């Protein structure tokens, strides 16, 4: 199955989070995606350093803060968690081949790049309304990232979506449902706080058992994306599946726990009796029963309705207290 990649704006989405020393959103996204491409990451560093340079004349600690932020992001880049997304020919070679392979996405790509060019033709400095100016810049970033997601999927065979909330899109495009579904799924994951180490986030995501659950969740994202449901119905379906899985596992755990307690109560008497009578072959039997209960619980999870949501539920349990 192809990688799931997120595309994020460095100069818009990441700037305010980093300046406020709050990487909760980025940590939340790392729990779901294989990698996160940050557009204009180098410019983001420059903007941080420029802002720090202005402020550090009054507050020397600001410069050290910015150095820490950049160091943290560079560690993530070297670990392969994030990468700098560039709009360069060497990144997406053979433009004609890509264009011929776009198929039904060609109309989307054409509209998005036209919108980027259209906004580029506006002299932003002459826009008096600051709110309108900010909206135009954001819309250009969103359009460009959505365009790059389409090109990346076509050129590199990955699944790519933007991290901008779908509610901020100025136009809904055909065949772009994966972004909507992914945004809804992200909102259901916990927001690890700043004290949660990056190593813990990455180790959790890379755990083999969690990888299996994450694969099930991603398969569900791809499947539900083909059904063209409105966001409200997608969210209802997701919540229903979460509830079904939790209820099923709660019932099964209650049954398993009851049976386990019975075994534990009986075990000491059986062990003493077997030791007295030297029935050594009988001694491991209670332990075998306990192991069987664990296997039954695993089987129950595999067959549970809504098992695609196991990753969301377990991730909440693991990181909820760290929000």
Domain boundaries, the chain: 4-196, 235-322
**Given a cut of 60, is residue 254 above it in pLDDT?**
no
* Model confidence, pTM: 0.78
C-alpha separations of 26 from 8, 9, 11, 267 in Å: 10, 12, 14, 49
Confidence at residue 4, expressed as pLDDT on a 0 to 100 scale: 92
Please give the average per-residue pLDDT across 3-19, as a whole number. 82
Confidence at residue 128, expressed as pLDDT on a 0 to 100 scale: 81
Q: Where are the alpha helices (DSSP H) in the chain?
A: 15-19, 24-30, 41-55, 61-78, 95-101, 106-120, 130-156, 177-188, 198-206, 208-225, 231-276, 285-302, 310-319
Distance, in Å, from the CA atom of 311 to the CA atom of 323, rounded to the nearest integer, reads: 17
**Given a cut of 70, is residue 132 above it in pLDDT?**
yes
Give the residue, 92 or 288, on which the prediction is more confident: 92
Give the residue, 270 or 150, on which the prediction is more confident: 150
Average pLDDT, the chain: 78
Closest Cα partner for 69 from 48, 85, 51? 48
Give the residue, 185 or 253, on which the prediction is more confident: 185
- What is the torsion angle, in degrees rounded to the nearest 10, for the CA atoms of residue 217, residue 223, residue 229 and residue 233? -30
Q: Where are the alpha helices (DSSP H) in 41-129?
A: 41-55, 61-78, 95-101, 106-120
Assign 245 a pLDDT band (cuts: 50, 70, 90). confident
Give the residue, 76 or 305, on which the prediction is more confident: 76
CB contact at 8 A, 29 and 205: no
Distance, in Å, from the CA atom of 64 to the CA atom of 124, rounded to the nearest integer, reads: 33
Confidence at residue 322, expressed as pLDDT on a 0 to 100 scale: 57
| Low-confidence winner among 19-23, 104-108, 124-128, 284-288 (lowest mean pLDDT) | 284-288
Give the tens place of pLDDT for each residue, 207-221.
Answer: 998 999 999 999 999
Closest Cα partner for 37 from 65, 4, 60, 64? 4
> What tokens does 315 get?
């991730």
| Number of residues written out for the chain | 323
Confidence at residue 323, expressed as pLDDT on a 0 to 100 scale: 54
Confidence at residue 190, expressed as pLDDT on a 0 to 100 scale: 92
Confidence at residue 311, expressed as pLDDT on a 0 to 100 scale: 93
Give the residue, 103 or 321, on which the prediction is more confident: 103
| Low-confidence winner among 23-27, 125-129, 303-307 (lowest mean pLDDT) | 303-307
Confidence at residue 59, expressed as pLDDT on a 0 to 100 scale: 63
Give the tens place of pLDDT for each residue, 143-191.
Answer: 999 999 988 888 888 999 998 887 888 787 876 788 889 989 999 999 9
**Residue 12 DSSP code:** I
Q: What letters, b where the CB count within 10 A reaches 16 and e where it falls short, cover 261-280? A: eebeeebeeebeebeeeeee
């Amino acid at each position: 199955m192809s990688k799931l990649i997120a595309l994020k704006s460095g100069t818009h989405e990441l700037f305010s989070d980093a300046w406020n020393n709050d990487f909760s959103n980025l940590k939340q996204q790392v729990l779901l995606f294989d990698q996160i491409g940050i557009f204009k990451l180098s410019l983001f560093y420059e903007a941080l350093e420029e802002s720090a340079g202005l402020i550090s004349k009054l507050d020397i600690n600001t410069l050290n803060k910015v150095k820490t932020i950049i160091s943290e992001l560079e560690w993530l880049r070297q670990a392969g968690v994030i990468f700098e997304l560039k709009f360069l020919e060497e990144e997406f070679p053979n433009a004609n081949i890509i264009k011929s392979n776009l198929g039904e996405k060609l109309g989307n790509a054409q509209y998005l790049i036209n919108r980027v060019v259209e906004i580029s033709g506006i002299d932003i400095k002459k826009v008096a309304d600051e709110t309108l100016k900010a909206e135009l810049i954001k819309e250009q970033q969103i359009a460009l990232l959505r365009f790059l997601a389409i090109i990346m999927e076509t050129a590199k065979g990955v699944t790519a979506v933007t991290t901008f909330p779908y509610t901020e899109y100025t136009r809904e495009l055909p065949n772009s449902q994966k972004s909507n579904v992914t945004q809804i799924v992200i909102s259901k994951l916990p927001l690890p706080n700043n004290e949660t180490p990056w190593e813990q986030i990455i180790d959790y995501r890379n755990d083999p058992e969690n990888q299996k659950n994450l694969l099930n969740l991603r398969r569900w994202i791809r499947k539900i994306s083909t059904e063209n449901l409105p966001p409200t119905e997608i969210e209802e379906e997701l919540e229903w599946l979460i509830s079904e899985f939790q209820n099923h596992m709660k019932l099964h755990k209650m049954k398993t726990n009851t049976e386990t307690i019975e075994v534990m109560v009986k075990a000491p008497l059986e062990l003493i009796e077997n030791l007295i009578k030297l029935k050594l072959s009988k001694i491991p039997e209670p332990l075998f029963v306990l192991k069987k209960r664990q296997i039954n619980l695993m089987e129950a999870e595999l067959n549970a309705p809504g098992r695609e949501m196991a990753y969301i539920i377990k991730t909440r349990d693991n990181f909820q207290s760290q929000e």
